Amino acid sequence: MASKEDIRSSRRLHRRTLSPEQIAAAGASIAQHGTAWAAAASSGTAATFAVYVGVAFEPPTLPLIHSLHDAGHKILLPVCEPGRQLSWVYWTPSTVFVRSSYAPIDEPEGERLESEVVAGAAGIFMPATAVDRDGNRIGQGGGYYDRLLHGLDDSGRRPPTIAVVYDDDLLPSGSIPAEAFDRPVREVLTPSGLVRLDDRAQ
């Protein structure tokens, strides 16, 4: 079995082969399918969702963010904090982004809320470089989201989670080594649609 770092590097290299047109088309499809998932997760009512901004060759999520907003939902975006922790800012179309102090990304300006606010969300859209069909996920290597899910699991208030990847980033069962700290996902959002994984993923 390949190591997480080898898989992460391989998927990043593959993503760099995608054309701007392919990336844009993926973003549009992810917005469509992701908004449908949000409608089901919120029982068709306006709710709050934790999302993130896909950067560089990641699956684009700004179309999803705008689509969720247009559907009446509130959007929480993450901000990297010391100790690999996340805080959260409510996004609006007028939100200003600034360079992160802790990661090579731009982050929203605004009142920073602790991660407990995510416990009240209807769902969490999570970044990933790969997911296998057992629900094991590889993120960007910082461990921010595993820490977030660990805290939500400990509180017993974890909302539904869905990892966002390209179609080719969904790997066969057993492809990703699982560690004790990892928190599997049960659903994956790809440009081709929603994929529900093995029920062993919690």
In this structure, is residue 202 part of a structural domain? Answer: no
Q: How many domains does the chain have?
A: 1
Task: Give 94's DSSP letter.
Answer: T
Identify the domain containing residue 92 by its residue range: 4-196
In this structure, is residue 182 part of a structural domain? Answer: yes
Distance between CA atoms of residues 92 and 69, nearest Å: 8
Percent of all residues in the chain with a pLDDT value above 90, rounded to a whole number: 71
- pLDDT digits over 8-45, tens only? 999 999 999 999 999 999 999 999 999 999 999 999 99
In this structure, is residue 201 part of a structural domain? Answer: no
In this structure, is residue 180 part of a structural domain? Answer: yes
- pLDDT digits over 118-156, tens only? 999 999 999 999 999 999 999 877 788 888 988 888 778
Distance between CA atoms of residues 142 and 83, nearest Å: 10
- What is the CATH classification number for the domain harbouring 136? 3.40.50.10420
What is the signed CA dihedral for 145, 150, 151, 156, rounded to 10 degrees?
120
Q: What are phi and psi of 178, to 5 degrees?
A: -100, 135
pTM score: 0.92
In three-state secondary structure terms, 158 is coil
